[in-house]
């Protein structure tokens, strides 16, 4: 990045610098999804210049709304890009998937920055929120194994792990695909219990029947 900045015109150097300064990387073992680079640059500039943003937003279930926020950071988490912002109408911090927002022009007035959530640990805050709210299918899974073991097995992009006792833990995860979610749970290689969502329960039941019929009686 430093070598690239040295050979760029000053206007482009400022863009690269804004992206580097206002982007947070959360470790993951997957590649990023496709997002328009010009949109990422625009959002990084708004974070840098502390300008309010209005945008059209589409939720995971297709509902549309107009949001008015103070943008603070871009976060690359797993295969996706997120915008961490303070929602002025809801008076709280929110995490938005970048591919689901369309900025409105012009942007709003400048704002005085607030203290970031989680004591400034943006990656931790977004990891907790994105593993549930951002996905079409969200699941809380009781895993019959110690939390330390499960946390060591999964990517931070897969979800969060909380201990229940010495031999079990709560795995909060999600996905836009039931197939992908079932695969992740199977890779835990231990017993687990799922109460919902109903679509996931039905899919796992179908898989269990399929695997049962695939083996000799």
Interval 175-205: pLDDT, tens: 888 998 999 899 999 999 998 899 999 999 9
What are 34's two structure tokens?
Answer: 């496709």
What is the mean predicted confidence (pLDDT) over 32-41?
A: 80
For residues 6 and 100, state if they share a domain.
Answer: yes
Cβ(166)–Cβ(146) below 8 Å: yes
Residue 167 pLDDT = 96
Predicted confidence (pLDDT) at residue 148 exceeds the cutoff of 90: yes
For residues 9 and 91, state if they share a domain.
Answer: yes
Q: Give the chain's mean pLDDT.
A: 83
For residues 8 and 89, state if they share a domain.
Answer: yes
In whole angstroms, what is the distance from residue 102 CA to residue 39 CA? 9
In whole angstroms, what is the distance from residue 131 CA to residue 211 CA? 28
Measured in whole angstroms, how far is the alpha carbon of residue 111 from the centre of its chain? 25
Q: Is residue 130 part of a domain?
A: no
Domain boundary (120, 149, 173) is at: 120
Residue 22 pLDDT = 62
Give how many domains the chain has, as a whole number.
2
Residue 112 pLDDT = 96
Instruction: Note down the domain range covering 209.
Output: 137-214
What are 39's two structure tokens?
Answer: 């949109």
Q: Check whether the bond before 201 is cis (ω within 30° of 0).
A: no
Residue 77 phi, psi dihedral angles, 5° rounding = -130, 115
Q: Which of 156 and 153 is assigned the larger pLDDT?
A: 153
For residues 175 and 99, state if they share a domain.
Answer: no
pTM greater than 0.85 (yes/no): no
In whole angstroms, what is the distance from residue 125 CA to residue 114 CA? 15
For residues 161 and 88, state if they share a domain.
Answer: no
For residues 30 and 112, state if they share a domain.
Answer: yes
Q: Is residue 145 part of a domain?
A: yes
Q: Is residue 148 part of a domain?
A: yes
For residues 13 and 111, state if they share a domain.
Answer: yes
> 2: which DSSP letter?
H
Buried b (16+ CB within 10 A) or exposed e, 28-37: beeeeeebee
């Amino acid at each position: 990045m430093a070598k690239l900045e040295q050979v760029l015109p000053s206007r482009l150097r400022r863009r690269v610098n804004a992206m580097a300064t206002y982007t947070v990387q959360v470790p993951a073992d997957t590649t990023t999804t496709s997002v328009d680079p010009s949109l990422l640059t625009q959002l990084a500039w708004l974070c840098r210049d502390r300008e309010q943003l209005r945008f059209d937003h589409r939720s995971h279930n297709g509902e549309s709304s107009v949001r008015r926020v103070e943008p603070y950071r871009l976060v690359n988490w797993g295969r996706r890009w997120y915008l961490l912002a303070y929602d002025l109408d809801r008076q709280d911090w929110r995490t938005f998937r970048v591919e689901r927002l369309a900025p409105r022009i012009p942007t709003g007035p400048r704002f005085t920055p607030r203290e970031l959530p989680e004591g400034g640990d943006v990656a931790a805050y977004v990891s907790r929120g994105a593993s549930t709210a951002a996905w079409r299918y969200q699941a809380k899974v009781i895993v019959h194994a110690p939390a330390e073991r499960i946390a060591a097995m999964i990517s931070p992009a897969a979800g969060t792990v909380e201990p229940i006792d010495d031999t079990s833990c709560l795995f909060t995860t999600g996905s836009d695909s039931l197939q992908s979610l079932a695969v992740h749970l199977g890779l835990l290689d231990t017993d687990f219990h799922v109460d919902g969502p109903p679509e996931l329960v039905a899919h796992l039941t179908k898989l269990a029947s399929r695997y049962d019929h695939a083996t000799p009686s």
